Copies of this chain bind each other. A is one copy, B any other.
Amino acid sequence: MSQALAIGQESSAVHAAFEPRSIAVVGASEDMGKFGGRILHYLLHHRFAGQIFPVNATRDQVCGLDAYASLDDLPSTPDLVVICVPQRHVHGVVESAGRLGVGVAVVVSNGFADAGDEGRQQEQVLVALAQRHGLRLVGPNCMGFVSAATGVIVCSSNILAIDSVPTGGVGFISQSGAVLMALMDCGFRQGIGFSHCVTLGNQADLELCDFVEYLLEDDATQVICTYVEGLKDAERFQRLARRAAAQNKPWIMLKSGRTAAGAEAAYSHTASLAGSYQAFETVCRENGIILVEDVESLLCLAAILEKFPGQRLDRVALSSTSGGSLALCADRLSDEGIKLAELSSETLDKLHEHYPASVSNPVDIGVATQGALGRVARPTAEILLSDPGVDIFLPVLSTAPDVHALTQWYIEGAEAAGDKPYLVVLQPAALADSTRLELRRRGIAFVDSFDALARALRAWKQTMAAPRKPADCERPAGLPAPGTIAAPSGAMDETQAKTLLDRYGIRTNLGVTCTTPEQAGEAAANMQFPVVVKIVSPDIVHKSDMGGVALNLDSVEAVEQAARDMAARITAADSSLRLEGFSVQEQATGKMELVLGVNTDEQFGPMIVFGAGGTLVEILSDVAVASAPVARATARALLERLRIYKVLAGARGNAPLDIDAVAEQIERLSWLAEDFKDSLQELDINPLLVDDEGRGAVAVDARALFKK
Contacts and interface: CB of A to CB of B under 8 A. Distances in A.
Given A322-B178, A619-B620, A328 B186 contact: no
A185 B324 contact: no
A110 B618 CA distance: 56
Contact of A615 (B258, B330, B400, B651): B651
A334 B189 contact: no
Interface in A252-271: 254, 256-266, 268-270
Contacts of A612: 619
Given A261-B333, A399-B181, A256 B328 contact: yes
Interface string A443-475: 000000111100100000000000000000000
A268 B449 CA distance: 23
A427 to B, nearest CB: 4
B159 A324 contact: no
A85 to B, nearest CB: 14
A552 interface: no
A647 B181 CA distance: 48
A122 interface: no
Interface in A398-445: 398-401, 403, 427-431
A367 interface: yes
Contacts of A185: 399, 428-431
Interface in A338-379: 339-340, 357, 360, 362, 364, 366-367, 370
Chain A binding surface SS class = helix
A64 interface: no
A329 B268 CA distance: 14
A331 interface: yes
A181 B430 CA distance: 11
A323 interface: yes
B545 A652 contact: yes
Contacts of A270: 323-324
A332 interface: yes
Nearest to A547: B653
Interface stretch (A55-63, A293-301, A382-390, A659-667): A293-301
A175 interface: yes
A116 B653 CA distance: 46
A264 B545 contact: no
A618 B645 CA distance: 9
Interface of A: 32-33, 38, 110, 114-116, 157-159, 161-162, 174-179, 181-182, 185-186, 188-189, 227, 229, 254, 256-266, 268-270, 293-297, 318, 321-335, 339-340, 357, 360, 362, 364, 366-367, 370, 398-401, 403, 427-431, 449-452, 455, 542, 544-545, 612, 615-616, 618-620, 622, 643-644, 646-647, 651-653
Q: Which 4 A-B pairs have the closest CB atoms?
A: A269-B323, A176-B324, A262-B331, A178-B322
16 contacts: A158-B401, A162-B430, A185-B399, A186-B427, A258-B331, A259-B334, A261-B340, A262-B328, A266-B327, A268-B323, A293-B335, A295-B450, A612-B619, A615-B647, A619-B646, A619-B647
